[in-house]
Amino acid sequence: MLEGELVRLRALEPEESDRIHGWVHDPDVGRWMNHSYPRSLAQLRKRAEERPVNSYELVVLGIEAKADGQLIGIIDLRDAEPEVGNAELDIYIGEAEYRGGGGYGTEALRLMCRYGFNSMRLHMITLWVVAENERARHVYRKVGFTEDGRHREAFVAMDGKRHDMILMSMLKGELRS
Ligand SMILES: CC(C)(COP(=O)(O)OP(=O)(O)OC[C@H]1O[C@@H](n2cnc3c(N)ncnc32)[C@H](O)[C@@H]1OP(=O)(O)O)[C@@H](O)C(=O)NCCC(=O)NCCS
């Protein structure tokens, strides 16, 4: 368990699938994420029950608000390669009232990056963000990510419109607290 002032990061429980299923339909979350074909609650529950234990290759953690113990989002580090020490990060705050200024996402990012650099001994953490997602880009820059480049028209939104994606990275030693 990783603990800050506002949030703790901990493993997800299968019964939390119902809450996560609700988040998937929130357009403020969904419009910035790579979307898959619609999945039923039963399929999501089954996937959660079969989820492998967290490991170097894939660490998926729930973001829990410390004040009320509520699960408010998910953060993961995936595809870590021991030879190069790189991994890719994803995050979203699913609970709308905790999003956009409370500092929950910022603290979760710092905790996860610190874990990646210190415990997993990563050298670099990367992520992709849709160019128009100004809030996420602001938060990523604030915690120490740098914009490396632009993948033109690489993201297709739910309405079929294409958007550029920005590749960002943070090296060990660049995390801003
Ligand atoms: C991106 C996300 C994880 C950030 O977490 P959060 O808890 O909302 O962010 P915080 O409250 O920690 O910080 C928000 C910051 O963005 C700023 N902000 C809010 N709206 C903004 C906007 N439209 N443009 C720029 N900055 C904005 C806030 O002022 C605050 O900055 P400050 O602390 O310097 O004042 C969260 O908003 C989220 O999950 N969004 C939907 C899904 C998503 O975009 N995921 C990322 C995909 S790459």
Q: Are 105 and 93 in contact (CB under 8 A)?
A: yes
Report the pLDDT value the prediction gives residue 148, as an integer from 0 to 100.
98
Which residue, judged by its Cα, is nearest atom 6 of ligand 1?
105
Alpha helix segments (H runs only) across 25-145: 27-30, 41-50, 104-118, 134-143
Task: From the CA of 106, give the closest atom in ligand 1.
Answer: 12
Give me the pLDDT at residue 24, please: 82
CA distance 107 to 7: 7
- Nearest partner of 88 among 169, 172, 160, judged by Cα: 169
Query: How much is the pLDDT for 28?
Result: 87
Residues 54-81 as b or e (16 or more Cβ within 10 Å = b): eeeeebbbbbbbeeeeebbbbbbbeebe
**CB of 46 shorter than 6 A to ligand 1:** no
- 163 ligand 1 Cβ < 6 A: no
What is the CATH T-level fold of the domain 2-121, as seen in this structure? Aminopeptidase (3.40.630)
Ligand 1 pocket test target in 23, 138, 155, 170 with most atoms within 8 Å of CB: 138
Question: 134 with 117: CB under 8 angstroms?
Answer: no
Per-residue pLDDT of the chain (177 residues; tens, 9 = 90+): 899 999 999 999 999 999 999 898 788 888 888 777 888 899 989 999 999 999 999 999 999 999 999 999 999 999 999 999 999 999 999 999 999 999 999 999 999 999 999 999 999 999 999 999 999 999 999 999 999 999 999 999 888 899 999 999 999 999 998
pLDDT of residue 25: 79
**For residue 33, what pLDDT is reported?**
83
